[in-house]
Amino acid sequence: MTAPLTHLQRLEAEAIHIIREVAAEADKPVMMYSVGKDSAVMLHLAKKAFYPSPPPFPLLHVDTTWKFKDMYALREKAAREAGMDLLVYHNLEAEERGINPFDHGPLHTDMWKTEGLKQALTQYGFDAAFGGARRDEEKSRAKERIFSFRTASHGWDPKNQRAELWNLYNAKKKKGESIRVFPISNWTELDVWQYIQLENIEIVPLYFAAKRPTYEWEGGLFMADDPERLEKVLGTMPEITERSVRFRTLGCFPLTGAVESEAANLSDVIQETLLTTTSERQGRVIDKDAGGAGMEKKKQEGYF
Amino acid sequence: MAQDSVYQTDALIAEDIDSYLETHQHKTMLRFITCGSVDDGKSTLIGRLLYDSKMIFEDQLDALSADSKKVGTQGQEIDFALLVDGLAAEREQGITIDVAYRFFNTEKRKFIVADCPGHEQYTRNMVTGASTADLAVILVDARKGVLVQTRRHSYLCHLIGIKNIVLAVNKLDLVDYDQATFDAIVAEYTEFAEEIGIESFTALPISGFRGDNITTAPSESTPWYQGPSLVEHLESVEVLSQVAADKPFRMPVQWVNRPNLDFRGFSGLIATGSVKPGDAVRALPSGKTSTVKSIVTYDGDLDEAIAGQSVTITLEDEIDCSRGDVLCVADNPPETADQFEATLVWLNDEDLHVGRAYWLKLGTQTVSATVQQPKHRVDVNTMDELAAKTLSLNDIGVAEVYSDKPLVFESYVENRTLGGFILVDKITNATVAAGMLNFSLRRSQNVHWQASDITRTHHASMKNQTPRVLWFTGLSGSGKSTIANEVEKKLALMNRHTFLLDGDNVRHGLNKDLGFTEADRIENIRRIGEVARLMTDAGLIVLTAFISPFRAERRMVRDMLEGHEFVEIFVDTPLEVAEERDVKGLYKKARAGDLKNFTGIDSPYEAPEKPEITVNTVEMSPEEAANYIIDQILPLK
């Protein structure tokens, strides 16, 4: 008799099933690709779901122009290797107004990411968008369905979610409405890391510790990925020091806190993750607005 | 907090991460739910499990401590419930509204726990959480014993098919760990469990707040308890996917993978059983058989795949198979049917509309379906079966479900994937009900379609014609049979192959057992429709002459047939004219009250709304009407 499936095998099979359901039932699906480790896992699962065909949908990166250089490099490579089209969307208004993480605080996330995402989905007419969010990340995510229905204005109504039974997903919607789909909802941070290790998935080198130019800003430690631009926006050049650092999550470089670390390979990173005493999103500024309900509020407004 | 052996020790992670990962990699996964009444301490128990397995981080704990003091219900102590109640409305009201999924690991397993709301108004959310669970932990407050909610939740868990039930008698610290209290609750629950058909359950005395018998057992406070701790029990029960692997092979096809002309793979998640290259398989509903050529994955071809795996299967033969079909073991296929008895859980604010068409999704099959008037609904608090005209939000009832196309299915008890379905409103797109198929209503449907090599297209082309059903409808005495007879004679002269079905050749044989009640009249038409369909399969042009007074039944026959085969011909004769003619003297009898349920007199005639052809017998002679009909239906090739 065959051995029972391991938890990672079951999670993988579940995610592939979800991705195929969307491809079969949505008119115009798209895969959100943020170049982070969760996106990397999701993309890998999409490749597996349709092998030997390439995934039958494009990748969409809603860019803020403030991502790390390493992320832009991997983005192009990953899309090419998967045989998928890569769409990059910039919110033109944010670009024109020069919205940046230093001068505009929460508006930066709102304009570039929330508004940018809504504009991109509306412009291309995508009716289903895959996202790499997990339920263990944050309290309101823990309550979200795998197929998360959004109104025509992209809002989420947490009190009126569709019942989601067994693995039967209701993908019916009216014109203009859309569905956000989270194939790795049931994965934990450890599962993601272990899967990356087992499947040998390429991730951005920033997840591994290396000597990098860093600066301190408002109590946090950040990487000076583009010092010239930093100086232009800040009006002054912060003091830059070489430190051995890595990142637990990746976003805009001025918003993503670095941690001092010597973990230079996957085993060491996982070890550090397991022994750490703070949660993964702790380095992210976005969850802390509006009391305990920051993410829930953002999602109601249309954030992923 | 003492760390127990069931959890990963920091020491192992620190000393030998690779061997820790090796262990973790081979863990199995158990999904369970916690349920119970509002203050039974569900969220506290989950908080405890997360805390003990170190799934709560320092920053979350800090936030929790602050929140506990602000809105917590545990005084200065940490209120774990705040950790799991994630929505703003939940935190404000101090209740659980929606299912929250949480994760933790022990040395042996990864766990996904769904924290389900207790209130009756959130039954739908509880059913959602229960549908994917291998096990249910039903919490009872030791001070309160088995409550109405305990019964309701147990019933729902049993209904959704959860085989592993744990009765966790919680807050034992508040009754001084009294064994007699525990025993009394277990005795009461045992009686109730037998009543509703729960075959076995495991009872545990615990305190989620104090941590007794959660990770290790027995706790010093309960020396009288000899069984396992909650976590030990969770680590040892058999998970659903293991059970599914021992059943016959079934895989609903999700997607046909065609990267090029040389590759055609059928992708899906294996629902039950296992499959190997060389296995004989059958595609349903077509019934065609073939042999598995390969099981293709990104990581290379597999020698075997089992229930729970997502794979792509290629076959030796080119057979017709697409999304919605089911690949199964050739000699033991599931049934195909279009009428079922099902248990429904109503999930929507808008009541069930009996007879309205909803989308029904089962596995990867989506069909249009109607629900008949419920046979009964169940009072979830008393388990009484009550009469019901409809089903409202959170109601559970049993009703017949008719689908417009045959579904490949198994009973829910046998196979969750091929027996569980959802109903979706066609206008709002809301998921309005969850259903579990009990059995099909017609045993004849258990007969598998024998895929014949001479297809209906062959039959029709040999006769050099296009099959049609010319369905004449109209009042008694309107002239249906006369006109149909004329039409058939003219078609015969044109060398068309025809057959006329009318009251004389049907009522005396096939339908001799049927009377004239509404139910019998519906069955009469259904059988005629089925016969007409078989005759079109044989390539014939079928003419039928029946009053067929109800739109729904004519619609039913129309739906049985292919595209444009059904030609509805309304023989339009006003009642006065038909009654005046009264060829068989039937109107006279009906008026005198000697003939009951006579159409036009004491039973309604629903005229067609959009017939393909209308003939007015006041203006046309039967000959003219027949010529007109022939003109409309030609060329029939």
- How many helices (H) and strands (E) chain B has is answered by 20, 28
Query: Quick check: B172 pLDDT over 50?
Result: yes
Q: Are residues B431 and A4, on separate chains, in Cβ contact within 8 Å?
A: no
Q: Quote the pLDDT of residue A134.
A: 92
**pLDDT tier at B438 (50, 70, 90 boundaries)?**
very high
Range among B8-12, B162-166, B601-605 rated most confident: B162-166
Tokens standing for A186? 């049931």
Within 8 A of B125 by CB-CB distance, chain A residues are 163
How close B67 gets to chain A, by Cα (Å)? 9
Average pLDDT over residues A179-192: 93
CB B136 within 8 A of CB B165: yes
How close A204 gets to chain B, by Cα (Å)? 22
**pLDDT tier at B423 (50, 70, 90 boundaries)?**
very high
Q: Quote the pLDDT of residue B453.
A: 73
Query: Quick check: A145 pLDDT over 70?
Result: yes
Query: Which residue in the set A166, A190, A296 is minimally distant from B131, CB to CB?
Result: A166
Which pairs count as long-range contacts for B582-590, CB under 8 Å and 24+ apart, including other chains?
Answer: B582/B477, B583/B477, B584/B476, B584/B477, B586/B476, B586/B477, B587/B476, B587/B477
Tokens standing for B497? 């192959």
Within 8 A of A163 by CB-CB distance, chain B residues are 124-125, 127-128, 347, 422, 431, 434
CB A273 within 8 A of CB A193: yes
How close A153 gets to chain B, by Cα (Å)? 17
Among A275-279, B188-192, B235-239, B283-287, the minimum mean pLDDT is found in A275-279
Could you give the angle at which helices A69-82 and A37-50 cross, rounded to 10 degrees? 0
Q: Are residues B420 and A168, on separate chains, in Cβ contact within 8 Å?
A: yes
The Cβ of residue B121 has, within 10 Å, a number of other Cβ atoms equal to 10
Q: pTM of the prediction?
A: 0.76
Exposure on the CB side of residue B382, measured as CA atoms within 13 A: 5
pLDDT digits (tens, 9 = 90+) for B55-85: 655 566 666 666 666 655 555 556 666 665 5
Q: For the residues of B170-211, what is the DSSP string, one character each?
A: E-GGGGTT-HHHHHHHHHHHHHHHHHHT----EEEE-BTTTT
CB B275 within 8 A of CB B292: yes
Within 8 A of A2 by CB-CB distance, chain B residues are 245, 274, 304, 306
| 3-state DSSP assignment of residue A15 | helix
Average pLDDT over residues A148-153: 83
Could you tell me which of B257, B298, B305 has the C-alpha nearest to residue A200? B298
Query: Quick check: B496 pLDDT over 70?
Result: yes
Q: How many CB pairs under 8 A join A and B?
A: 208
Q: Quote the pLDDT of residue A160.
A: 74
Within 8 A of A194 by CB-CB distance, chain B residues are 21, 24-25
| 3-state DSSP assignment of residue B120 | helix
Nearest-by-CA chain A residue for B84: A139
Which of B286, B548, B603, B621 is labelled catalytic? B548
How close A83 gets to chain B, by Cα (Å)? 12
**Greater model confidence, B580 or A45:** A45
Query: Which residue in the set B25, B99, B127 is minimally distant from A194, CB to CB?
Result: B25
| Residue B476 annotated among the catalytic residues of the structure | no
**Greater model confidence, A228 or B431:** B431
pLDDT digits (tens, 9 = 90+) for B455-467: 888 888 888 888 9
Could you tell me which of B412, B277, B278 has the C-alpha nearest to residue B343? B412
Query: Quick check: B2 pLDDT over 50?
Result: no
Query: Which residue in the set B10, B242, B431 is minimally distant from A162, CB to CB?
Result: B431
Structure ipTM: 0.89
Q: Are residues A13 and B308, on separate chains, in Cβ contact within 8 Å?
A: yes
Q: Quote the pLDDT of residue B69.
A: 61
Dihedrals phi, psi of B472, to nearest 5 degrees:
-85, 125
Could you tell me which of A247, A206, A135, A182 has the C-alpha nearest to residue A32? A182
State the Cα–Cα distance between residues B399 and B472, nearest whole angstrom.
Answer: 33
Among A166-180, B58-72, B293-307, B516-530, the minimum mean pLDDT is found in B58-72
Percent of chain A exceeding pLDDT 90 equals 47
Tokens standing for B252? 């609903």
Within 8 A of A271 by CB-CB distance, chain B residues are 13-14, 17
Within 8 A of B309 by CB-CB distance, chain A residues are 5, 9, 13
Q: Are residues A159 and B8, on separate chains, in Cβ contact within 8 Å?
A: no
Query: Which residue in the set B27, B416, B424 is minimally distant from A166, CB to CB?
Result: B416
Q: Are residues A142 and B258, on separate chains, in Cβ contact within 8 Å?
A: no
**Most A CBs within 10 Å: which of B65, B67, B82, B98, as the mutation test of the A interface?**
B98
Nearest-by-CA chain A residue for B422: A168
Q: Are residues A17 and B59, on separate chains, in Cβ contact within 8 Å?
A: no
Q: Quote the pLDDT of residue A155.
A: 77
Could you tell me which of B571, B637, B561 has the C-alpha nearest to residue B608? B571
The Cβ of residue A30 has, within 10 Å, a number of other Cβ atoms equal to 23
Mean pLDDT for chain B overall: 86
CB B536 within 8 A of CB B542: yes
Range among A59-63, A251-255, B597-601 rated most confident: A59-63
Q: Quote the pLDDT of residue A1.
A: 46
pLDDT digits (tens, 9 = 90+) for B591-625: 888 888 788 888 889 899 889 999 999 899 999 99
Q: Quote the pLDDT of residue A282.
A: 53
Query: Which residue in the set B127, B304, B359 is minimally distant from A165, CB to CB?
Result: B127
Q: Are residues B25 and A13, on separate chains, in Cβ contact within 8 Å?
A: no
Average pLDDT over residues B481-486: 93
pLDDT digits (tens, 9 = 90+) for B307-356: 999 999 999 999 889 999 999 999 999 989 999 999 999 999 889 988 78
Query: Which residue in the set A47, A282, A293 is minimally distant from B298, CB to CB?
Result: A47
**pLDDT tier at B398 (50, 70, 90 boundaries)?**
very high
Within 8 A of B89 by CB-CB distance, chain A residues are 158-159
State the Cα–Cα distance between residues A113 and B191, nearest whole angstrom.
Answer: 57
State the Cα–Cα distance between residues B52 and B106, nearest whole angstrom.
Answer: 10
Within 8 A of A278 by CB-CB distance, chain B residues are 57-59
Burial-class residue B499 by CB neighbours within 10 Å (0-12, 13-18, 19+): middle
Residue B165: enclosing H or E segment and its boundaries? strand B164-170
Average pLDDT over residues B192-218: 90
State the Cα–Cα distance between residues A41 and A131, nearest whole angstrom.
Answer: 11
Task: Collect all residues with Cβ–Cβ distance below 8 Å to A139 and sequence separation of at least 6.
Answer: A292, A295, A296, B86, B87, B100
Nearest-by-CA chain A residue for B365: A168
**Most B CBs within 10 Å: which of A143, A275, A281, A285, as the mutation test of the B interface?**
A143
State the Cα–Cα distance between residues B482 and B505, nearest whole angstrom.
Answer: 15
Nearest-by-CA chain B residue for A162: B431
CB B503 within 8 A of CB B547: no
